[in-house]
Structures are given as C-alpha cells and as structure tokens.
Structure 1
C-alpha cells in the first residue's frame, strides 16, 4: 500500500536525506503496524488479582476480568473478600461466588451487603445459613427485597432450611418484587397445595416465574389426558 511504498522510498534514500526527515515518518509507520496495547492507566491488574487473591483459574479470571475492567484498585474487592471471610465462606466458596457473579466484588459492603446480612440476622438466620444464601444466590443477594421476602416465606410456614433450598433452583424468588412472591404463593394455593403442606415448597418452586397461561395449560393437559377433575388434579399435585 501507500505506507509500504513510502517506507521503501525512505529506506532507499541517501543517508543525508533520512537523517532528519525520515525518522519521524518511519516511526509513525512502524508504530501504526504494531499492535495497539492499552494498559490499565491505574496499574491495577484485574486478571492477576483474580488469580492471585481470589483463587480463580486463569481461564475463569480472563472471563471475569472483562466485567471488572473499570476497577482501578483492589480496595473494594479486598473489602468484599474480607466481608465474605467474616461470614465464614472459605476461599473456595468466595471464588465460586466471584466466578458466578464477578461484579459481586464491586458491591458496597457498608451500603449493600452489611444491611442485607443484618436484616437476615435480625430474622434469626445464623451466619452459616446466611453464608449459604450468599453461595447460592450470589448476584441476587445484592438486592434489598431479599429480607422482606424471607419474612413472608417464613410466614407461609417455610423453615429457614426450606428457604435456602428454594433459593438453590430459583434464587430470583428471594430478590424479586415481594408482590410477585405473594402471587406465586397464591398460585400454589389455587392449585390445591396449601401453606404448611409437605409439598408446598416444591409447588412454589414449580410455579415460580411461570405465567398464569402456562400453568393453566399444564393443568388442562393433566385433566384432558387422564380425564381428571380439578379436585383430582389438586390431589395429584399434593
């Protein structure tokens, strides 16, 4: 191209003409041909931090670092890791949280994490139970609705152990709008599974985030396939 032709002319010119004129264009040509590298202006190596401090593997750190490119120092992630350790999470548990939700390292301990933990502790959850919630809820743990939702689910007869089990397959249940959780409970009850029943928790998980139309379609399928009445469907579900 034009750059190569210019480079050939410069290299073939007498030394007297290149001594002062050619050096700057030549540098521009060579720099344009070199790959562009954009170092972190703060000098904070996010990927190395994820490997050396958080315990992630290199592939995990490479993937997670793409969501943390805005970090300019280890101050905030150090505080988060210390907070997790204080809850009783092991290094491996903390690493698992970071792998699932890299932005957890950017959470504000004083304004986000600590208030949630305080609220859950105020409900009587132990630190191991709260730590378990962090492990299974990860990104959903960083929202405030988790506390009123836990309160409501306990009022529905679920034990703290049941609530943790609910969070494993459907973690959003703890962090979605409280009115949505109330609608889920009402839906399970309409299907004939009352609060306090042994199958209430599985029924709640089954209807979580399903539309009324989809649930109605599933009920109709059972009724049409087995020629069941509404009462028989409820018995079968229980």
Structure 2
C-alpha cells in the first residue's frame, strides 16, 4: 500500500508540472492517478479479502473478519486500491481510511469515476474544500457513495447555515442524508416555518430531535397541535422547545407525566398548566429526578408549590451540582452573620456560576477563607463540616 501511495503522489506531481493548457481537471487527474497506481490483475489463486483489509486497509483482524463478510464477491484488489488512493488524495490518513472501511466496507466497491468523482465535483461546486469533503466522507461514508448526497447537501447547507452545523446534526442522525427531500424533509421544513420557526430554530431542533425532519409529515402536525395545547402558541419563542418536549410522545405518556407533576408537587390544574407552559421540558425529565428536586425545594427550603409553578425552570437545575451547594452557601452566610438579606432562592440559583461566585463567595475571602473550597466540594457531592448545619 505504501508503494501504491508513493506512485500515486508521484503521478500527481508529474501531472501538476505538465502543460498549463491541459483541459483535464485536478479531480480527473487524481482519478487517473488512482487508476494508474492501482494493480489491476486479480490474484490467480483468488483474492484474499480478509488479508487485504488487514494489510492494505489497516483494519484489525476482528474488524477485517467482520468486514470481509460483506466483500466476499470481490475477485480483485483493483477497485479497492483505486478507492484507497482516492481517499488518500482527499487528504485522509491511513487511520482515517481504515475507519471509513470499518464503518462501511462496501465503500471499497464504489466506482471512483462513476460515483466518487461526480460527488466530489458536485460538493466542490457547493463551496466545500477537500478537507471539508474528507470530514463528510469520514462521518457518513455510506451516504457519500450515493450521488444524491450532492442534492441533499445543496438543500441542507442553507438550512443549517454551515457545514459544521450539518456535521453536528449528522453525528446524531446520518440518515438525514438518505431521507426523501421532496416527500419528507422539505414538507416538514415548510410546516415548521409555517409554525413560526426560523431556519436556525429548525436546525437547533434537529440537533435535539433529529427525527423531526425525517419522520412522516403526518406525524409532525399532531406534535405541533400538542405543543399548542400546552398553552404555547405558534410563533412564540418557546414553541420550538414545546415541540421538543412533546416530540414522539404519545398522548397517554404526556397525560401521565402531567398527572405525576400534579401529585408529586401538589400542583392544581391551573398551576401545572402555568408550569408546563413556562418550562415544557419538564415533560421529558425523569420522575425520579423531579421527585428528588421538588422534595428538596419544598421540604428543606420550604418553597410553596405555587412559587415553584411560577418559576418551574428551577426544576431544571441539578440537585447535587447547583441547588444544594448554593443553598448551603446561603445558609452558611446567614448563620455566620455575613448576609442578612432575605434573598429569593430562584434569583440565586439561576445566576451564572461566575456571577454567583463573584457575589457570594469572593466578598467573604477573609471572613470565611474556606468557603470557596467548601462550595467546590459541595458541588462534587461532598458535605464539608462547615455545611453540616444543626
């Protein structure tokens, strides 16, 4: 394989020094180099696919054994050699190429001239560089070996705003590039825009719920209806979060979670409606987590259910990482006469970490030199002696 790549790059250098009037594009010179460098004669004794995957592609023996089952039809290394040379020309390292093959062994069977060159040419026309294309093929090789990937990327680039954003979505759902644009994705995008979502909102929603764009459009409309039933109108800034909250939840599951909130936090119908309209993602929080956080807020802090209902995002915060440590700090300051103000716990807990430290930790370095250390320990789940109140 090393000799193959040496010959390949030698051919590229040779091509680049040829006459400037050549009408052959760099991409086609790359393909010609790959074809010239790749051995074309099949092994008379039969092509040992598993050995090739180990020796030429760099796969581990277990990876090669698994991949070879999909490549038993190969009779010659000609096409795989050309594909490997092509990947190298795009800038993929040996390890990167091995990862592509391990992820999608059939990529080795892709026609370089018939498929890979048109795909790369099309993506280049959309403004993607060779490193960009290398990132895309590394992430989703199975989608890359279909020429339709160009039209899919042409659609998604303006929707998501950048290649980085598309790759972020593809890490969650590579099937985004295989779903039908005309029958599935575009109708869903059009409907979400009708609901008042901007393209950036649709992209963010897709990161969180990838299937929202690739599911049957007839399933997306009921989700929007449920979001509205939570008291969040279309066009509002909260509608995207409401869609996320109810996405792919059955009516029974939503009703069950609402009943749980009413019983656990002792909310009335009105209070649970207020809470869910302000913090729809409560519907996706686990029952155990909601139980522990609400128990702490009501039993230890003495907060009333109505108070929590009007400030429900307080239930979003980690009990161990934020609620309890900040409560400890406030109580310590009060018991030691360092802060006698009657503060709203909600205002304290929603402060950014930097602001909380600057306001409640730093001013007391001399009077309470261990406060910062104790707070840091409390955030890790420990209870320092200074925070063990009687």
Q: TM-score range by the shorter chain?
A: 0.7 to 0.9
Query: RMSD of the TM alignment (CA)?
Result: 2.4
Q: Secondary structure at the match of 1:156?
A: helix
Tell me the equivalent position of 1:183.
Answer: 187
Cα offsets for 1:116-150 (capped at 9, x unmatched): 00110111101111001001111110111211222
Shift of 1:52: 1.1
- The answer to whether residue 227 in structure 2 is matched with residue 209 in structure 1 is no
Tell me the equivalent position of 1:50.
Answer: 53
TM-score, reference length from structure 2: 0.46
Tell me the equivalent position of 2:95.
Answer: 92
Which segments of 5 or more consecutive residues in structure 1 lack a partner in the other structure? Answer: 1-39
- 2-side partners of 1:96 and 1:184: how far apart? 33
- The answer to whether residue 169 in structure 2 is matched with residue 169 in structure 1 is no
- Using CA pairs under 8 Å that are at least 6 residues apart, name the structure with larger relative contact order, 1 or 2: 1
TM-score, reference length from structure 1: 0.73
- Cα 1:230–1:71, aligned 2, differ >3 Å: closer, same or farther? same
Larger mean Cα displacement after TM superposition, 206-215 or 104-113: 206-215
Q: Secondary structure at the match of 1:168?
A: helix
Is the CA contact (8 Å cut-off) linking 2:46 and 2:75 kept in structure 1?
Answer: yes
- 2-side partners of 1:191 and 1:58: how far apart? 52
Cα offsets for 1:143-162 (capped at 9, x unmatched): 11211222222343622222
- The answer to whether residue 125 in structure 2 is matched with residue 116 in structure 1 is no
Q: Secondary structure at the match of 2:189?
A: helix
**For 1:106, which of 87, 106, 109 is the aligned residue?**
109
Shift of 1:95: 1.0
- 2-side partners of 1:157 and 1:208: how far apart? 12
Is the CA contact (8 Å cut-off) linking 1:134 and 1:141 kept in structure 2?
Answer: yes
Give aligned pairs, total: 196
- 2-side partners of 1:41 and 1:188: how far apart? 59
How do 1:149-160 and structure 2 match up within 5 A?
149-156=152-159, 158-160=161-163
Cα offsets for 1:161-190 (capped at 9, x unmatched): 222223222223234333133223223323
Cα offsets for 1:2-45 (capped at 9, x unmatched): xxxxxxxxxxxxxxxxxxxxxxxxxxxxxxxxxxxxxx985211
- Cα 1:235–1:58, aligned 2, differ >3 Å: closer, same or farther? closer
Cα offsets for 1:72-105 (capped at 9, x unmatched): 1111101101111111111111111111111000
Tell me the equivalent position of 2:139.
Answer: 136
Tell me the equivalent position of 1:17.
Answer: none
Is the CA contact (8 Å cut-off) linking 2:232 and 2:239 kept in structure 1?
Answer: no
- 2-side partners of 1:184 and 1:161: how far apart? 22
Is the CA contact (8 Å cut-off) linking 2:139 and 2:171 kept in structure 1?
Answer: yes
- 2-side partners of 1:176 and 1:211: how far apart? 10
Q: Secondary structure at the match of 1:154?
A: helix
Is the CA contact (8 Å cut-off) linking 2:195 and 2:235 kept in structure 1?
Answer: no
Larger mean Cα displacement after TM superposition, 108-117 or 163-172: 163-172
